[in-house]
Amino acid sequence: MEEFYLGFAQQARDLAEKADPFTRRRLLELARRCDLQSKPGHHGARVAPPPRAMPPNAAFSGSGES
């Protein structure tokens, strides 16, 4: 699987050379993520977002009238 991500990252970099600036930035970010995926021990786990300061419903606990 590591070879797949390394090859895909290289393809994204090759395409980025010919792309417009916006697409180039996106392709290079994709290549960076593929490089991370190709490293041994990396399982693609996403980091959970930080907890909210207050629960979403606490802001709407009033009677509903302004």
8 A C-beta contact, residue 30 and residue 16: no
- Contacts (Cβ under 8 Å, ≥6 apart) of 16: 23, 24, 27, 28, 31
In the chain, domain spans: 1-41
Mean pLDDT rounded to a whole number for the chain: 79
The string of pLDDT tens digits covering residues 26-55 is: 999 999 999 998 887 655 555 556 666 665
Whether pTM exceeds 0.75: no
The DSSP call for residue 62 is S
Between CA 26 and CA 54 the distance in angstroms is 34
Q: How many C-beta atoms lie closer than 10 Å to residue 15's C-beta?
A: 15
What is the pLDDT, as a whole number, of residue 18? Answer: 96
